[in-house]
Structure 1
Amino acid sequence: MGRYSSQMAHFPDAEATGGLGRRAGLATDAKVVGCAKYDQQQAPAENWTAVPGDPTTPGPSQFDAMLRASGFLNAKPIVATGVTGNDFYTVAPFQVLSWHPRTVLYPSFIDRERCEHVIRMAERKLAPSTVAMRKGDTRADPNSVRTSQGTFLDAADDPDGVLAWVEERIAQVTMFPVQNGEPFNVLRYVLNQRYESHYDVFDPEGYGPQSSMRVATMLVYLSDVEEGGETVLPLEGVDGLERLQGIDYKDCGIGLAYKPRMGDALLFYSVGTNGTFERRSLHGGCPVSRGQKWVMTKWIRDKCYGGRSSPCADEV
């Protein structure tokens, strides 16, 4: 079932990250290392020179404290945290699963409570999933390709703020503003339901002109799956495009496959580093053999997604 089908991520559960302020954290680091000689010198920052190999040479985490000691900040304070950033550092553990296409696993990306909250929201609105039609496509029955049930959820519809929290977390790890994301697409798969391999990119040649392009997809798994339900990328690998000719879009036995685990998130890019369509991003959902599968999809675009009430953070 692919290289990662039987793999359970070997990561501990994510620990809560502290809300330690940026400057408080830097001050703490400085106390641990010790900056006595800089405190005594009170030298202007422009006269300070790092000595290669000198164990007392400060790292980036001590630079703030040294600037304070030198008095340089009295003339030019450190730039404040931007309106689009944080006042604290967060680190999400991750594992690169592939470079072709770029695919990254974030284990324990969200906790069980938030997973169950999203499921409760989605259960009330489930409907048969649909597929986008290309120009000239006459296929009338999406169930031949996609057999799940799903719904779209917007952060504005969640008064508890869970979806907004997830959006912010996705923005942190992808480095795309929240406004570049489409609403969440929450899907439920039960016995034998699947999604044949497909692309998330709307290629203008097949779908007509697009105001923006989907560049990445984040899958957040909301449940464990007893058996089946893997996410498969059948063309994964340097030589993946060699398998494109004559490919069976229902085949779950080739390429990379990842078995869902509650709270994990899988990010893959639909465009290459040169901005062109990455054909190895073909992906699908294998049939569920036992149990059920809940997954939440966030499609990320290269520009602000239409319908957002506020402008994109990188376009103001």
Structure 2
Amino acid sequence: MRNPFQEDEEIAKYKCHVSARGSPYLMIRPAKYEHIQDDPEMYLFHDVISPEEIKIIQDISKHKLYRSQVVSNKGPVEYRVSQTAWLQNQTHTVLLKIAKRISAITGLHVYEGIPHNMAGEHIQVLSYGIGGHYDYHFDPLFKMEPEEKWNETGSKFEHYPSGDRLATWMFYLTEVEAGGRTAFPQAGVSVSPVKGAAVFWYSIKKNGYGNQRSQHGGCPVLLGHKWVANKWIRENVNFLKYPCSLDPQE
């Protein structure tokens, strides 16, 4: 994948791969992916959701959509223009299959019978019309703040017993004729929507702190209609899957 933000020398470091290890699922259906970036660790997986599954997700979501909001505000904001629907894992059998597929590909606990919100959140479906966008932001709920603020009023650790958002898996449910890229300004990377593909990245480092280079945004849709589906993966239940490093900076 040609990325306009990367130099030729940097692009040369990354290659396309096919993975059939780590899970019986991958032996039957190997994962095709591109290694996009080291910091944050980021990959683009191809053909990981079928047109039939996409249609099911869109059909379920259409009557649940409402104007997108952000955690820190009680209503719509100008810097996030889209519509959102949350789909519980039990909404349809295809959502359970998708959660297990993400788990097999990433090697992380995503659902697999673990109580709601302890491993992976419900799927968030987003619909962006022309002009729809989301300014640069971070996915973690509190670990992008200084450590001394993590336990301030409201005790965020108490409110989030599953930990913070370790990683993000984003399905692209449609392609976009113009615009709509997912841009990571501090990492110098942008990803174009590819129907049936998914971009995956880690937002928290192995030292437990948020990665500033995971900042990202949804570029404005100039022509077409962009649909994505996010699955946020929580950190606490994955402490053995994504262990700490001996390097405090990693």
The TM-score with structure 2 as length reference comes to 0.75
Partner of 2:138: 199
Matches within 5 A, 1:1-316: 2-3=4-5, 86=24, 89=27, 90-133=29-72, 142-158=76-92, 161-179=93-111, 180-203=119-142, 205=149, 208-210=155-157, 211=161, 212-236=163-187, 255-304=188-237
- Flag the structure with larger Rg: 1
Deviation at 1:261, TM superposition (A): 1.0
Aligned residues: 208
Write the distance in 1 (CA, Å) between the matches of 2:76 and 2:216: 17
Higher strand share: 2
Question: RMSD between aligned alpha carbons?
Answer: 2.9
The TM-score with structure 1 as length reference comes to 0.60
Write the distance in 2 (CA, Å) between the matches of 1:299 and 1:288: 23
Q: Specify whether residues 189 and 88 from structure 1 end up closer, same or farther in structure 2 by C-alpha distance, changes over 3 A only.
A: closer
Deviation at 1:275, TM superposition (A): 2.8
Partner of 2:244: none
Corresponding letter in the other structure for 1:278: N
Contact 2:41 2:202 in 1 (8 A): yes
Corresponding letter in the other structure for 2:120: G
Contact 1:199 1:281 in 2 (8 A): yes
Deviation at 1:304, TM superposition (A): 4.8
Task: Return structure 1 stretches of 4+ with deviation > 6 angstroms.
Answer: none
State the SS of the aligned residue for 2:77. Answer: helix
Q: Specify whether residues 88 and 94 from structure 1 end up closer, same or farther in structure 2 by C-alpha distance, changes over 3 A only.
A: closer
Deviation at 1:181, TM superposition (A): 0.5
Corresponding letter in the other structure for 2:105: V
Tell me, which stretches of 5 or more residues in structure 2 are unaligned?
7-14, 112-118, 144-148, 242-250
Q: Identity rate of aligned residues, in percent?
A: 31
Partner of 1:45: none
